[in-house]
């Protein structure tokens, strides 16, 4: 299976919102749930989970451009415009390819929101603030899903594995899917543990670098580990 399918009539969302943690994770989960990030051998395709090289570029470049532009010029407006311009190019390309307008404009809207927040406060570090909010919201939602007995990764992976909701009738399967979901919670929690202190200390370069390193690749790794630990034991 290709790691970066880009068919114009493919209904699976390929775009990601570069600075919107919730949108990134939501897109990755939908790719897995639709089967587009699962290989013919039944394994998770890590690169496809993040939307291939194109999805990775759309996630990384606007933030990287913002960080480099601000560090170089110390001009918040210029850095914001540069980041929005990069996201706009990706969106225009998707529109030219006749993809869903909502899908094509999602990343642009997310970057624009982050820029607006930063311009409103006058602090470059606040470009990353919205990501903390969505990150915390997903941690809460994922944790609640485990506590109420409906771990989110069980719903997603169970659909791909043709288990439906039958896994809920088996204590062992429920535990495995709960563990998989906790792995994802841990990955999201790690982002806050590392990045919030950098934000509070106003260490913009370190914060921006950490955001790039701990973005989509970390989600993909967490989903891959969750897939492995939730695999059913082979029958003897």
Most confident of 96-100, 223-227, 231-235: 223-227
pLDDT at 35: 63
pTM above 0.85, yes or no: no
Side-chain-side CA neighbours of 70 within 13 Å: the count stands at: 24
pLDDT the model gives residue 172? 92
pLDDT of residue 59: 82
Q: What is the pLDDT of residue 1?
A: 38
Considering the chain, what is the average pLDDT of its residues?
83
Residue among 111, 94, 110, 109 at smallest CA distance from 14? 94
User: What's the mean pLDDT in 169-173?
Assistant: 92
Find the mean pLDDT for residues 9-31: 56
13: helix, coil or strand? coil
Which carries the bigger pLDDT value, residue 46 or residue 130?
A: 130
Cα–Cα distance measured from residue 27 to residue 47, given in angstroms and rounded to the nearest whole number: 13
Q: Mean pLDDT across the stretch 155-176?
A: 90
Of residues 17 and 61, more confidence is placed in: 61
Rounded CA-CA distance 224/21 in Å is 18
Confidence of residue 42 (pLDDT cuts 50, 70, 90): low
Confidence tier at 231 by pLDDT (50, 70, 90): confident
- B/e letters for 209-224, b = 16+ CB within 10 Å, e = fewer, are ebbbebbbbbbbebbb
* Torsion, Cα of 45, 23, 108, 207 (10° steps): -90
For residue 180, is pLDDT > 60?
yes
Domains of the chain, by residue range, sit at 21-229
Contact (Cβ atoms closer than 8 angstroms) between residue 138 and residue 21: yes
Q: What is the pLDDT of residues 70-128, one digit of tens each?
A: 999 999 999 999 999 999 999 998 889 887 777 668 888 989 999 999 999 999 999 99
CB 151 within 8 A of CB 141: no
Phi, psi of 44 (to 5 degrees): -75, 135
pLDDT at site 115: 95
**Is the Cβ–Cβ distance between 207 and 125 less than 8 Å?**
yes
3 state DSSP class of 40:
coil
Average pLDDT, integer, range 207-213: 91
């Amino acid at each position: 299976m290709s790691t970066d399918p880009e068919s114009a009539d493919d209904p699976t969302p390929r775009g990601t919102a570069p600075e919107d943690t919730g949108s990134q994770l939501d897109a990755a989960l939908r790719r897995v749930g639709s089967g587009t990030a699962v290989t013919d051998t039944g394994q998770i395709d890590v690169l496809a989970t993040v939307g291939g090289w194109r999805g990775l570029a759309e996630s990384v470049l606007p933030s990287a451009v913002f960080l480099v532009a601000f560090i170089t010029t110390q001009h918040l407006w210029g850095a914001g415009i540069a980041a929005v311009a990069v996201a706009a190019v990706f969106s225009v390309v998707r529109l030219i390819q006749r993809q869903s307008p909502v899908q094509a404009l999602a990343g642009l809207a997310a970057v624009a929101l982050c820029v607006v927040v930063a311009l409103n406060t006058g602090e470059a570090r606040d470009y990353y603030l919205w990501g903390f909010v969505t990150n915390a919201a997903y941690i809460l939602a994922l944790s609640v899903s485990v506590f109420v007995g409906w771990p989110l990764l069980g719903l997603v992976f169970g659909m791909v594995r043709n288990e439906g909701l039958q896994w809920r009738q088996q204590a062992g399967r429920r535990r495995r899917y709960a563990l998989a979901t906790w792995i994802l919670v841990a990955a999201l929690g790690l982002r806050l543990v590392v990045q919030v202190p950098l934000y509070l200390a106003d260490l913009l370069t370190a914060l921006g670098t950490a955001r790039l390193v701990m973005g989509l690749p970390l989600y993909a790794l967490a989903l891959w580990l969750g897939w492995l630990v939730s695999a059913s034991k082979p029958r003897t």
